[in-house]
């Protein structure tokens, strides 16, 4: 097991980072947040993590993750988990109504929302303080403002 020189971020700290990310997303209509995200992913951070001095570390190497690992963690894993719910949308499209396409799209958005909620609340499971994407991506989020003694 890797020993880090920083403490793991607490649940409150991580939820605060997510809240900052969401607020910035809505304030900038997603555009400013996306541009900032694409830049700081290379440092293993999101804009919210950067402002709150958190960073994502690779559990296998003990070093901050790079841009590609961060893209997988922040984008591809949530997307693939959501697409696992695609059969629900396909079933909805078989309903013989004129709104079948709308129903399928709504179900996809609901699926993404449900996956996002499960991922966010996974942090409360156990003592490891990991989201579901942390488990799959083999990452930890550390609080770089708190050095281990």
Q: Is the pLDDT of residue 148 over 90?
A: no
| Cβ pair 9, 149 in contact under 8 A | no
| Residue 14 neighbours by CB under 8 Å, 6+ apart | 54, 123, 129, 131, 141
For the cut 70, the answer to whether the pLDDT of residue 2 exceeds it is yes
Could you report the per-residue pLDDT of 61-119, keeping only the tens digit for each?
999 999 999 999 998 888 787 777 667 666 666 666 655 556 666 776 777 778 778 88
The confidence score (pLDDT) of residue 94 equals 66
Residues facing residue 58 across a β-bridge:
139
pLDDT at res. 123:
86
What are the DSSP E strand ranges found in 30-118? 54-58
Whether the Cβ atoms of residue 6 and residue 147 lie closer than 8 Å to each other = yes
Structural element, H or E, at residue 113: helix 100-121
Q: What is the pTM of this model?
A: 0.82
Is the pLDDT confidence value at 53 over 70?
A: yes
Check residue 103 and give its pLDDT. Answer: 66
Q: Which residue has the higher pLDDT, 144 or 117?
A: 144
Helix axes 11-27, 31-40, angle to 10 degrees: 130
- For position 24, what pLDDT does the model report? 96
pLDDT at 57 over 60: yes
Q: Tens digit of pLDDT for each residue in 3-21?
A: 899 999 999 999 999 999 9
pLDDT (0 to 100) of residue 68: 96
The pairs formed by 106-112 with CB atoms below 8 angstroms and a separation of 24 or more are: 108/82, 111/82, 111/85, 111/86, 112/78, 112/82, 112/85
7 beta partners = 143
């Amino acid at each position: 097991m890797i020993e880090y020189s920083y403490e793991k971020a607490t649940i409150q700290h991580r939820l605060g980072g997510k809240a900052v990310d969401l607020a910035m997303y809505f304030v900038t209509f997603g555009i400013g947040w996306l541009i900032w995200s694409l830049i700081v992913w290379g440092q293993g951070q999101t804009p919210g993590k950067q402002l709150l001095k958190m960073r994502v570390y690779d559990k296998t190497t003990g070093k901050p993750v790079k841009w590609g690992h961060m893209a997988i963690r922040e984008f591809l894993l949530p997307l693939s988990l959501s697409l696992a719910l695609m059969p629900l949308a396909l079933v909805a499209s078989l309903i013989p109504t004129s709104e079948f396409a709308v129903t399928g799209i709504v179900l996809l958005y609901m699926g993404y929302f449900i996956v996002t909620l499960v991922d966010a609340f996974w942090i409360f499971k156990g003592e490891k303080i990991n989201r579901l994407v942390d488990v799959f991506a083999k990452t930890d989020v550390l609080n770089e403002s708190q050095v281990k003694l």
